Amino acid sequence: HGTYLRGRGRMIHPSAIVHPEARLAPDVSVGPFAIIGARVEIGAGTRIDSNVLIEGRTRIGRDNRIFPFASIGAAPQDKKYADEDTAVEIGDGNTIREYVTINRGTAQDAGVTRIGDDNWIMAYVHFAHDCQIGSHTIFANYCGLAGHVHVEDWAILGGMTLVHQFVRIGAHSFTSMGTYLPQDLPPYVMAAGNMAKPYGINSEGMRRRGFDAETIASLKRAYRALYRSGLSLQEARGELEKIAEGCSAVRPILEFLARSARGIIR
């Protein structure tokens, strides 16, 4: 594959094309045939593998690993887009596998597609324009997020999960393989199917993250009030308020419901 060129602490393969105005921090590694545009910033310790394309106004943090054939910062797949100055922002410690596509934002929203820290993004995942991804999430192969989707911390999306535009996905939630989410998925809830239906709370995931048995029991009570009691959504909110008085972990569910514009899966 040839010899890497070293300069100011960087390792850049001679076949890579790195625009002279791109800002690469020390210890950045750029593999064969990668292309990095003029307005790209990459933090220390990040590794860019072969044939990766990074363009547009894109800022990538420290210690990320980007695998071959990923495309980051391309123009959004939105017919309204008229070459406005929009961006992609990626935090630290993310793993972005083969053929992942991350499009930049649009003027109709925040103008930024944003990804937090320590996310595990598997092959062929697509993040459309203006998606806002938290930290510590997992996206299995072939997940597809339409525009304006928000995903909170610690969510796990199973392979081939598809998410409708403007949907919100709550923290610590989980989807099974092949799930289609046309509406919001509240925190802690597991979903599966097309159309997605709720199937309990993600208790195993919460145990792994240090939630104690009492908190998990309270969240199960909250789930039953929301999904198994036969109550209307407004009535269920009243029950959740009561449960939240004794368990602060229930409060994010209420806050999520208050922000939901598309309604939740039920």
* Residues facing 201 on adjacent strands: 189
Active site residue 164: no
- Catalytic residue of the set 147, 158, 159, 205: 147
Q: What are phi and psi of 53, to 5 degrees?
A: -115, 120
- What residue type is assigned to position 134 of the chain? G
CA distances (Å), origin 263, targets 17, 48, 167, 235, 258: 46, 39, 9, 15, 10
The SS3 of residue 93 is coil
- Catalytic residue of the set 49, 130, 136, 158: 130
Active site residue 147: yes
CA distances (Å), origin 102, targets 113, 136, 137, 249: 8, 17, 15, 32
What tokens were used for 176?
């099974």
- Catalytic residue of the set 13, 126, 129, 148: 129
Question: Could you give the CA distance from residue 98 to residue 138 in angstroms, rounded to a whole number?
Answer: 15
* Residues facing 89 on adjacent strands: 59, 114
Active-site amino acid positions:
129-130, 147
